[in-house]
Chain A
Amino acid sequence: MAAVEGTARPPAWAVVAGQELRDLWLGGRGLLLSLAFSGLLSVLSYLVATNTALNFLEQRESVNLTLQVAIAVGAMLALLAGADAVSGERERGSLESLLLTPVSRLQLTGGKLLAALSLWVAAYIVTIPYVWFLGRGVGIVGVALATGALVGTLLAVFLVSLGVLVSIFAGSNRVSLSVSLFALLALFAPTQFPTSAQQGWAGDLFLRANPLTAGEHYVGKIVVDGHPWSQDASWLVSPVASAALFAILAAFAGARFMRLSGDVSK
């Protein structure tokens, strides 16, 4: 092989992630999604901060609402990028060329997963000025941003891994995106349940087991109720466990089942 020996080279997953990032951001897709996300946050911030008819929220609640929307939408963007990672390459006919390189499928999966996470990072960065604007003066900006970073990153890792996992086994990119979005909607559904359904030990267990509701509940406790970080830490069990479990599952499935066809029997 003609590779220059002795020259320091980055690991293959970093090369894959680098190229995926260039494709995502220089190709314009990432910028477009971030712009749309920024527009959404602008509208939301305008409504909660300036419209007197709707501005019934206390300042902390405004920050919490903005942060929760940012986490949900940012993680959803990352989920979509993850859901396109393998099935998209397969559909565009470019997966075979990647599988023909000596790079392990685990490293290919890792690189794609990291690149997809960049959409959450961008969404978070876009959110910072909105949180600062809405939360200035009540001393919650720092803690809100830190909590948002922690919970949002956990949920983004979980959802990107879920998207990659679906993408590995999906027969087409459309199926991958549909299944991933449906799973996301199913995870968000409990937030729309009546309050009575969210109470009692069953309701509590349900909220805690669902990483999305548990994560958002934790953010609310810190930002709105001003609880210290450790008081409600048990609500982070589900987001942490889901992020770890699904990242491992995606890595395993990528290493073992990333193939030209989504059908594992082939």
Chain B
Amino acid sequence: MSASVEARGVRKEYGGLVAVEDLTFAVDRGEILGVLGPNGAGKTTAIRVLTTILAPTRGTFVVAGVPHTRPADIRRQIGVLPESAGYPELQTGEEYVRYHARLFGHSRASARAVAHTLLAEAGLRERGRSPIGSYSRGMRQRLGIARALVNEPQVVVLDEPTLGLDPAGQRQVLALVRRIARERGATVLLSTHLLAEVEETCSRVLILNHGRVAAEGTVAEVSRQAAAPRSARLRVPADAVPDALRILASVRGVRAAEPAEGQPGTLALGFEENQASGPANDALCALADAGVSVLFFELEGARLSDAFLAMTEAA
């Protein structure tokens, strides 16, 4: 196993309930893996197994080159923001990060320096000496991420870091995640429900459903694998609609073209089954060749969110 994180056939059951079954995937150093799945899909259990909080019932995994049989050594190499992490309300942010740095073996002076650096990196320099009880949810999440970095981890695992945050807070946290992967070269496992942000942030995705891997690969691979583009919406000038419909009807692979709801000139296109982007390209070329301006074009069924819904609803 040479990947930064590699799991093979990991299974976790509680009593008779199987929470994770045959979890197999690999992610390389510096990559950001989006771990997706509906509620109850087994994301948090999988993360807790990989971070040694729970012992696997079966299977093996390696994190940062350390086999799962050495959990304490794995913990030295990883930084984790648990789901719904709690914080001591009366401690200051600086004190909190310093304490965890010391638990990872830093001396008093080194822990202080690490706390200053990480709080600044997380955008909390000004609030480092305020009690955590006065922090907003977004600040707490960023504090948790700062805490997860005290040991300069090779692998960072973030379980729902954007949960309950407003759009600005989500953007700040995701920017921090991208910086961790880019500047520290750390592998990031990011569990989230924000599919659009996963498309932007993650190089690979792992979709879990009912405890099993429903799909794994790059965002493009998973999107293609689950849902080839089957329809599109486009808009042309309202007076060009009859010409556009006539032209589109003659394009091979275009099953249907008809006016759609929305702004005047909006058309809905249907493609033949199993046809990928070819007919869409042909349709756009045909319109351009005929001098019909295309004001808007969007493929439907090609996004990660479509793939996610297709995979999790079908199962």
Min CB distance A52 to B, Å, is 46
Does A12 reach chain B (CB closer than 8 Å)? yes
Does A53 reach chain B (CB closer than 8 Å)? no
Q: Which residues of chain B have C-beta atoms less than 8 A from A99's C-beta?
A: 53
Does A96 reach chain B (CB closer than 8 Å)? yes
Does the CB pair A92–B107 fall under 8 Å?
A: no
Q: Which residues of chain B have C-beta atoms less than 8 A from A98's C-beta?
A: 103
CB-contacts of A107-147 with B (<8 A): none
Does A186 reach chain B (CB closer than 8 Å)? no
Does A93 reach chain B (CB closer than 8 Å)? yes
Supposing A19-B99, A101-B75, A102-B72 touch, asked if A1 and B85 sit within 8 A by C-beta, the answer is no
Interface centre among A4, A94, A96, A104 (most CB of B within 10 A): A96
For B82, the closest partner residue in chain A by CB is: A96
Min CB distance A31 to B, Å, is 13
Does the CB pair A2–B152 fall under 8 Å?
A: yes
Supposing A27-B90, A93-B85, A97-B82 touch, asked if A102 and B75 sit within 8 A by C-beta, the answer is yes
Does the CB pair B75–A1 fall under 8 Å?
A: no
Does the CB pair A103–B103 fall under 8 Å?
A: yes
B133-176 vs A, Cβ < 8 Å mask (1 yes, 0 no): 00000000000100100111000000000000000000000000
Q: CB < 8 Å: which of B53, B106, B144 contacts A260?
A: B53
CB-contacts of A14-38 with B (<8 A): 15-16, 19, 22-23, 26-28
Does the CB pair A3–B15 fall under 8 Å?
A: no
B52-86 vs A, Cβ < 8 Å mask (1 yes, 0 no): 11100000000000000000110110101010111
B76-119 vs A, Cβ < 8 Å mask (1 yes, 0 no): 10101010111110110001000110111111011000100000
Q: Which residues of chain A have C-beta atoms less than 8 A from B144's C-beta?
A: 97
Does B51 reach chain A (CB closer than 8 Å)? yes
Q: Which residues of chain B have C-beta atoms less than 8 A from A102's C-beta?
A: 72-73, 75-76, 103-105
State in angstroms the CA–CA spacing of A118 and B95 once bound together.
Answer: 21
Does the CB pair A9–B107 fall under 8 Å?
A: yes
Does A233 reach chain B (CB closer than 8 Å)? no
Min CB distance B172 to A, Å, is 21
CB-contacts of A77-101 with B (<8 A): 92-94, 96-101
State in angstroms the CA–CA spacing of A15 and B101 once bound together.
Answer: 10
Min CB distance A29 to B, Å, is 9
For B51, the closest partner residue in chain A by CB is: A100
Interface residues on B, range: 35 or more
Does the CB pair B107–A4 fall under 8 Å?
A: yes
State in angstroms the CA–CA spacing of A94 and B105 once bound together.
Answer: 19
For A98, the closest partner residue in chain B by CB is: B103
Q: CB < 8 Å: which of B88, B95, B100, B105 contacts A9?
A: B105
Does the CB pair A23–B91 fall under 8 Å?
A: yes
State in angstroms the CA–CA spacing of A26 and B87 once bound together.
Answer: 16
Does the CB pair A23–B88 fall under 8 Å?
A: yes
State in angstroms the CA–CA spacing of A260 and B95 once bound together.
Answer: 24
Q: CB < 8 Å: which of B14, B75, B88, B147 contacts A92?
A: B88
For A5, the closest partner residue in chain B by CB is: B105
Interface centre among A1, A96, A97, A99 (most CB of B within 10 A): A97
Supposing A2-B114, A4-B107, A92-B86 touch, asked if A97 and B100 sit within 8 A by C-beta, the answer is yes
Q: Which residues of chain A have C-beta atoms less than 8 A from B109's C-beta?
A: 4, 7
Does the CB pair B104–A93 fall under 8 Å?
A: no
Min CB distance B215 to A, Å, is 28
State in angstroms the CA–CA spacing of A3 and B100 once bound together.
Answer: 12
Does the CB pair A1–B84 fall under 8 Å?
A: no
Does the CB pair B110–A7 fall under 8 Å?
A: yes
Does the CB pair A265–B15 fall under 8 Å?
A: yes
State in angstroms the CA–CA spacing of A266 and B16 once bound together.
Answer: 11
Does the CB pair A100–B80 fall under 8 Å?
A: yes
Enumerate 15 A-B pairs (CB-CB under 8 Å) in ascending A order. A1-B152, A3-B106, A7-B107, A7-B110, A8-B107, A9-B105, A23-B88, A92-B86, A93-B82, A99-B53, A100-B78, A100-B82, A101-B103, A260-B48, A266-B54
Measured CB to CB, the residues of B under 8 A from A are 14-15, 48, 51-54, 72-73, 75-76, 78, 80, 82, 84-88, 90-91, 95, 99-100, 102-107, 109-110, 114, 144, 147, 150-152
Measured CB to CB, the residues of A under 8 A from B are 1-4, 7-9, 12, 15-16, 19, 22-23, 26-28, 92-94, 96-104, 260, 265-266
Further pairs besides A2-B114, A102-B105: 6, Cβ < 8 Å: A2-B150, A3-B106, A4-B110, A8-B107, A93-B84, A100-B52
